Amino acid sequence: MSKIKNRNVLVTGGASGIGKLLGEGCLEKGAKNLVIWDMNEDTLYKTAGEFQAKGYSVHPYLVDVTDTEAIERAAEDVIDKMGTIDILFNNAGIVVGKDFEDHTAKDIDLSIQVNVMGCMHVARVFLPEMIRRERGHIINIASAAGLIPNPKMSVYVASKWAVVGWSESLRIELEKAYHNMHVTTVMPGFIDTGMFEGVQAPMLMPMLKPHEIVNKIIKAVRYNDVFVKEPWIVKVTPILRGILPPRLFDFIAGDVFKVYDSMNKFAGHSKKKFPTEKKS
């Protein structure tokens, strides 16, 4: 099991949404320090202040994960002050919801820089110290989109496929070489945080409640689970794609379950407020 109590935790994109809830959940499990990286200055310091007011040790850093030099500078400061990060949540992410032909070069570059390169560089800068201590857990927040194609989010899908492949490869490398190094890949369906405002949830894939998926992620960290796949239909998707002819899979996913229509009314990000709920 990966202990959260008395450990140093870092969450990218940790000032709001799932990132904020992950940080809060770890603090409630007894984390020694929570390091929050985010690029929204107002939200970053507001969230840090909320947690600090409850008596928690929280360290906010204004970091843009598309800036490799900024990642390296911030990581050096974190390691200098805290020694190491024990549990790293690669949570920062963005989505562009439109036909590929309508994407600008900036849309594509930013999506890959945040969703893929950001994860890799953040893991890269903290991994050596984890390895030196032979203790660490990296949690990469990918998506069910890393398992199935979807129109109007082709670049987002590509980025999450990349994260899933990299995350799993990293896990195997570390498991073969070290006893207490762990990687968990999280592949949720749509989460009701406001990031996917306007999305039409496919049949058998309801919008996930933020607190519920966060509880499952934290439980997975504690038990060193390889994957978090929610809802249940996500677990069988790779099997169906593997055994069904492509056109038949497209018919079932697109015409029956309406997966391929889910982004038709996508409106973009909206701000959500999460009611306080008791964590399990």
Work out the angle between the directed axes of helices 105-112 and 154-177 (0-180°, nearest 10).
20
Q: What is the token pair recorded at 271?
A: 């701000």
Task: Give pLDDT, residue 279.
Answer: 37
Choose, from 56, 156, 178, 223, the residue flagged as catalytic.
Answer: 156
CATH 3.40.30.10 correct for 8-261: no
CA distance linking residue 233 with residue 236, whole number of Å: 6
Q: What are 187-199's pLDDT values in tens digits?
A: 999 998 878 788 8
Preceding omega of 151 cis (within 30 degrees of 0): no
Find all residues with CB under 8 Å of 85, minimum gap 6, and list them.
8, 9, 10, 35, 78, 79, 126, 129, 130, 136
From first to last of its 280 residues, the chain has per-residue pLDDT tens of 789 999 999 999 999 999 999 999 999 999 999 999 999 999 999 999 999 999 999 999 999 999 999 999 999 999 999 999 999 999 999 999 999 999 999 999 999 999 999 999 999 999 999 999 999 999 999 999 999 999 999 999 999 999 999 999 999 999 999 989 999 999 999 998 878 788 888 877 788 999 999 999 999 999 999 999 999 999 999 999 999 999 999 999 999 999 999 998 887 765 555 444 433 3
Where are the chain's structural domains? 8-261
pTM equals 0.93
For the question of residue 178 being annotated catalytic, the response is: no
Q: What are 230-265's pLDDT values in tens digits?
A: 999 999 999 999 999 999 999 999 999 999 999 988
